[in-house]
Copies of this chain bind each other. A is one copy, B any other.
Amino acid sequence: MYFDDLPVGFTFETGSSTVSLEDIYEFAGKWDPQPFHIDPEAAKSSPYGRIIASGFHTITVAFVLILDSDIWTEASMGSPGMDNIGWIKPVYPGDTLRVTGEVLSAEPSASRPDRGRTRIRYKIYNQSDDQVAEFTGIHLLRRKQV
Contact = CB atoms under 8 A, between A and B. Distances in A.
Contact of A81 (B34, B36, B84): B84
Nearest to A35: B76
Interface string A57-68: 001100110010
Size bracket, chain A contacts: 20 to 34
Contacts of A140: 47
> Could you tell me the dominant secondary structure of chain A's interface residues?
mixed
Interface of A: 30-34, 36, 46-48, 52, 55-56, 59-60, 63-64, 67, 73, 76-88, 140
Contact of A48 (B33, B46, B78): B78
19 contacts: A31-B60, A31-B64, A32-B64, A32-B67, A33-B67, A47-B140, A48-B78, A52-B78, A55-B78, A55-B82, A56-B60, A56-B63, A80-B87, A80-B88, A81-B84, A81-B85, A83-B83, A83-B85, A85-B85
